[in-house]
Structure 1
Amino acid sequence: MGTSTRSRFGVLGQLWFQVLAGTAIGILVGWLAPDAGAAMKPLGDAFIKLIRMMIGPIIFVTVVHGIAGMNDMKSVGRVALKSLIYFEAITILALVIGLVGVDLWQPGVGMNIDASTIDTGSIQSYVHTAHDQSVTGYLMNIIPTTLVSALTEPHVLQVLFVSVLFGVALAAIGEKGKSVMVVIEGASQALFKIIGYIMYFAPIGAFGAIAFTVGKFGAGSLASLGELILEFFVVCAVFTIVVLGTVAWWCGVSLWRLLYYIRDEIVVVAATTSTETVLPRLIQKLEKVGCEESVVGFVIPAGYSFNLDGTCLYLTTVAVFLAQATNTHLTFWHELGLIAVLLLTSKGAAGVAGAAFVVLAATLSTTGTIPVASIALILGIHRILAEGLTFVNLVGNALATVVIAKWEGKLDQALLAQTIGSRAQQRRHQLASTKA
């Protein structure tokens, strides 16, 4: 939404309010007229497709412009290494916290479900996709078929791979590459302008997505598996406040100011249950809080594959819940093995539709302890659980960018203090300004 539109209509002109309104209307339609609500699915799908159409080109121009503008190519390697170290540390924490939460709450105990009686027809496509995932296949899939196909396929890591290569090459040829840099910069401005146009349709997309969810699955799913939903949302809240809150404090960021700053994106993600829908806007917003373009351009796309904190919470929570529900005994070593497998499989379905569900199926197939058929139990509430996991993924990646920017010395502290800085950060900035 443009600045003039916002000022003219006040809160009515705010994207978050319009998306909330669309979501509320979608819930009503799905509840009062389930068939009509389910028929609204194309509206949500169309909006997500419009955003996905732009992700490849936007990552390309952002990463290329950022890397080609660096004077020190070693910093590219440092950013990549630091990002991976941070991603692994936080995702391990997420896996452990998810495991501890479900073990203490025990939402599946007492359900006494016989896995052999479960109808698995609805999960066959997910199980088939899960069997197609492997470490070798995942690594090979990072390399695109052609240079151009990386921009047309829904694989973020392929785009990132090509973008880094192109950016490094452009920097290496020096003066000869300046004319290309001008084109890249112009293309970047045009692409983000298109994103601005697409976001006008966000309320319609939110309406269609939530109307379909409510109309298709109804309130019955919430009632039968309500304890799992409640437990998972509590775990997501604890992880966000304790873990991400601590990381934010270390960075001099106010977690609450950060959440308010990305409120539009939070609402859109909640309505569509897809973090991809806000990737381009998140890149823009993090540059505006003082993170250098080269860091944002690498960390955000990489984080969408390697820093899925919410997905890790989901995987451990649901896997152990299914074990509890089917009376499958898990020893300490089983749970430790589960975490070890999830460290690999949680990275193995990036770019796959319904990635969290696919990874869950792949994990249960790999461990062989918990019946794979049991995942049919949570198919009806997967989109509800996705509300929590996508929120945590979004906040986690936004914060990760600030962490890496600070770690690499590529963070504008003054700008950070003005936008999402903590009170201590703001006081330090005011004191520095007074002395200056």
Structure 2
Amino acid sequence: MATADIAPAPPRRRDRTHILYLAVIVAVIAGAAFGLLAPHAALQLKPLGTGFVNLIRMMISPIIFCTIVLGVGSVRKIARVGKVGGLALGYFLVMSTVALAIGLVIGNLLHPGAGLDLTAAGKAAAAKQAASGSGSTVDFLLGVIPTSLFSALTSGAVLQTLLVALLVGFALHSIGRSGEVILAGIGHLQRLVFRILAMIMWLAPIGAFGAIAAVVGAGGWKALESLLQIMAGFYLTCFLFVFVVLGALLRVVAGVNILSLLKYLAREFLLILGTSSSESALPRLVAKMEHLGVSRTVVGLTVPTGYSFNLDGTAIYLTMASLFIADALGRPLSIGQQISLLLFMIIASKGAAGVTGAGLSTLAGGLQAHRPELVDGVGLIVGIDRFMSEARALTNFAGNAVATVLVGKWTGDFDRDRCAEVLAGRAPFDERTMLDDPHEDPAAVPPKEPALA
């Protein structure tokens, strides 16, 4: 009996992306060295970093749109969308309050800022930041509504894209089976968008080199000498928040080790460190969370919303920076004043989401509205804000990754077995397509569909 010929599966392409991220590490080190040795020339390299971040931002709206439309349009019970969104917003509010409280405790223990002098240049810088502070809550809410249905996909506004994608997803869900053709088309568009993103990522070493070189060239080490205390305190607070608070919550609720999750997202953290922007890793976070075993609906709603409302690192920064400025100006805040001012700025920070330098401008705008006599003190930290923004971005990113897993667990849309396989390295993330698509790669193992709540 003749044995039928069986065509062997095509060999899986070797993952060469590890070379890319080794190159990013080398570029960060080389950029810092170049900034110290040739600061004037390094300043001219800033457009390299800006250009790379802009390329990534170009992809954010299409990725969010495709992910949310596919997640909402294919869900069986539309009430699940409201459940996921409600849980996510409630969690974001609680964690922002926790981050604020931790910043208050550490700030009151360290008493940073005492004995520093404010120069005329510092006052000028503070006035500039106060002028660019965030607008009112009404302006923020009206800004969520795009000019047209399609302008949200070209403006780069995350919340506008989220609104349009939800409307499209609900509409496709309501028209039933005839909407499946459109959903299939959006699925193909998603694969195309992620493939373009994978191509852009090969420019990461160039972008990281230019960004780091410009930062070090502008400030050098002298900018840090008298301000290391506030920087060290801020980094320590972010570290405690991520590994103690988020780590404990992740272990108790989802049974996931925070170190394993952060290791899985190591390349994204490296990208954020090189560009000082958590937005540069948003598209990859969407893909990796879905690969980890969180349902597309939860990922599509939690990640983009978290980038506007779950700003744990920014909350800690606003807390510690306010205490730092008050101490430096010899006007320490009472506990009641601290809580009042910082709750005000936590609310204000929601309106500054997606704005470049949002942390510093929100700090200045909040002080201007609530304690105008402290605004001049913003000039004390303008020089190191760029270095502190690294920790802000890393903490915000870690907080959103943990939030996505927790919301998925609470809604029954988290596959624990799939997560264990991925974190153990037995189901590697496809860096070429960034999607679990067996048609793209026969060796790829698609994630299990989480049980519906």
TM-score (norm 1): 0.92
Q: Over aligned residues, Cα RMSD in angstroms?
A: 1.5
Following superposition of structure 1 onto structure 2, how do residues 79-90 of structure 1 map, counting pairs within 5 Å? Answer: 79-90=84-95
Q: For residue 89 of structure 2, what is the amino acid of its counterpart? A: L
Matched, 1:94 2:96: no
Following superposition of structure 1 onto structure 2, how do residues 226-265 of structure 1 map, counting pairs within 5 Å? Answer: 226-250=228-252, 251-265=254-268
Matched, 1:223 2:225: yes
Aligned partners of 2:322 and 2:363 also within 8 Å = yes
> What is the aligned counterpart of 1:181 among 180, 183, 196?
183
Aligned partners of 1:253 and 1:420 also within 8 Å = no
Give 3-state SS (helix, strand or coil) of 1:152's partner.
helix
Correspondence for 2:21: 16
Correspondence for 2:140: 138
Matched, 1:155 2:157: yes
Structure 2: gaps (5+ residues)? 1-11, 425-453
Give 3-state SS (helix, strand or coil) of 2:34's partner.
helix
Query: Structure 1 residues 146 and 123, CA, compared in 2 at 3 Å: closer, same or farther?
Result: farther
Give 3-state SS (helix, strand or coil) of 1:81's partner.
helix
CA offsets 1:154-208 (integer angstroms, 9 cap, x no match): 3211110111011001110011211111110000000000010010011111111
Correspondence for 1:433: none
> What is the aligned counterpart of 1:399 among 392, 402, 405?
402
Q: For residue 415 of structure 1, what is the amino acid of its counterpart? A: R
CA separation in 2, counterparts of 1:123 and 1:212?
Answer: 21
- After TM superposition, give the deviation of residue 362 of structure 1 in Å: 1.5
Correspondence for 2:197: 195
CA separation in 2, counterparts of 1:415 and 1:248?
Answer: 16
- After TM superposition, give the deviation of residue 390 of structure 1 in Å: 0.7
Correspondence for 2:279: 276
Correspondence for 1:428: none
Matched, 1:306 2:304: no
Correspondence for 1:434: none
Identity of aligned residues (%): 39
Give 3-state SS (helix, strand or coil) of 1:346's partner.
helix
Correspondence for 1:75: 80
Correspondence for 2:9: none
Matched, 1:285 2:288: yes
> What is the aligned counterpart of 1:336 among 333, 339, 343?
339
Aligned partners of 1:60 and 1:159 also within 8 Å = yes
Query: Structure 1 residues 350 and 69, CA, compared in 2 at 3 Å: closer, same or farther?
Result: same
Query: Structure 1 residues 15 and 261, CA, compared in 2 at 3 Å: closer, same or farther?
Result: farther
Correspondence for 1:214: 216
Matched, 1:317 2:320: yes
- After TM superposition, give the deviation of residue 6 of structure 1 in Å: 3.7
> What is the aligned counterpart of 2:350 among 325, 337, 347?
347
- After TM superposition, give the deviation of residue 19 of structure 1 in Å: 1.1
- After TM superposition, give the deviation of residue 402 of structure 1 in Å: 0.3
Give 3-state SS (helix, strand or coil) of 2:383's partner.
helix
How many residue pairs match? The answer is 412
Aligned partners of 2:144 and 2:160 also within 8 Å = yes
Matched, 1:382 2:385: yes
- After TM superposition, give the deviation of residue 76 of structure 1 in Å: 0.6
Higher helix proportion (structure 1 or 2):
1
Correspondence for 1:415: 418
Correspondence for 2:53: 48
